[in-house]
Amino acid sequence: MDYWIIWYIAGLILLVLEIFIPGFFFLGIGTGAIVAGSVSMLTSSLPVQFFTLILISLLGYYLLRRRGSELFDYPEDQISINSLRKKTGMVTQNVTPNGKGYVRAAGEEWRAVTEKQEVISEGEEVKILAVTGNKLIVTLLKRKTGSTKRSKKN
């Protein structure tokens, strides 16, 4: 039986699938299937063909994934809100422990709550400790000169 036709068709389907579901996963397997199809023209041994498929797929996946991540490497702060952690922001509306304030960070306005039981005044610089839902948990980075520290007691 001419297995090379089946290998080539499977390989082409996987390569087309890679276009619609990018990630370099199907590209490696599709390449492996095409190479296995070429090997099937040399030998009719199915174990050799499957070994070729697995070997080329794994090698292709590893190399393409590695090279692809270099080509399409986006800065972390463009892909995740969790990248806001450890960055700084500016208070635009007094931040209180109950989350009624706002902080400007990464060019956007975020609801914020303080880590400590304190009120952070508008204009103060804060460090972002975490992101929970749509809220930032912040702490005062440095108090502006002339500001007075106001604490909220429980």
Return the amino acid letter for 97. P
Residue 90: which residues within 8 A CB-CB, separation 6 or more?
Answer: 103, 104, 105, 123, 124, 125, 126
Q: In a structure prediction context, what are the per-residue pLDDT tens digits for the chain, which is 154 residues long?
A: 688 999 999 999 999 998 888 777 788 899 999 999 999 999 989 999 999 999 998 998 788 767 766 665 555 445 466 677 888 889 999 988 776 889 998 888 888 988 788 888 899 999 988 888 788 888 888 766 555 444 444 3
Give the domain ranges of the chain. Answer: 3-71, 78-151
Interatomic CA distance for residues 89 and 103, integer angstroms: 6
Give the CATH superfamily of 78-151. Answer: Nucleic acid-binding proteins (2.40.50.140)
pLDDT recorded at residue 151: 43
CB 135 within 8 A of CB 99: yes
pTM of the model: 0.46
Check residue 87 and give its pLDDT. 86
